[in-house]
């Protein structure tokens, strides 16, 4: 219990947010391993996938701010607005970037097969395709974040 107080007593909001991120990343890694049948440690720090660690991080912050300072506080208001922006961005701009990367990678692969002798400098370069989230992945992250924010007691 003393370790718990040391970790969460230092900066409660920061600690809760990081815990939300960590729980989501562990769940993402485990789900990815179960669904694909292979364990990939890269999923522990990689973006994209289910659940959204971005959503879990900001939602745990929102809940912790509401519990600690109240829903009428400026800190809660800032956390709430930031959460909306982060989750909107994850489903919008970042998801679209991943979709564009899929198309560009497909085009580059087709082009490289035809022109590989003329363009050896490109090699096997690929754009990262898993950068954003579907609405379902964002919702999953939000659920994880809210749960973390409610489960961990205020110190």
pLDDT in tens, 20-77: 999 999 998 888 888 777 777 776 777 777 889 899 999 999 999 999 999 999 999 9
Full-model pTM: 0.75
Domain borders along the chain are: 2-92+132-151
pLDDT for the residue 99: 67
Residue 28's nearest CA partner among 112, 145, 140, 113 is 140
Contact 87, 54 (CB under 8 A): yes
């Amino acid at each position: 219990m003393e370790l718990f107080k040391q970790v969460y007593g230092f900066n409660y909001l920061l600690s809760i947010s990081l815990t939300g991120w960590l729980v989501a990343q562990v769940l993402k890694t485990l789900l990815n391993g179960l669904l694909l049948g292979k364990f990939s440690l890269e999923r522990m720090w990689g973006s994209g996938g289910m659940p959204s660690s971005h959503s879990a991080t900001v939602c745990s912050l929102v809940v912790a701010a509401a519990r600690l300072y109240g829903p009428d506080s400026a800190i809660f208001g800032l956390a709430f607005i930031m959460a909306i922006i982060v989750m909107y961005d994850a489903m919008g701009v970042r998801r679209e970037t991943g979709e564009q990367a899929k198309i560009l990678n497909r085009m580059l692969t087709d082009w490289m097969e035809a022109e590989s002798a003329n363009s050896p400098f490109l090699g096997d370069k690929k754009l990262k395709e898993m950068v954003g989230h579907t609405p379902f992945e964002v919702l999953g992250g939000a659920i994880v974040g809210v749960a973390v924010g409610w489960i961990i007691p205020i110190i």
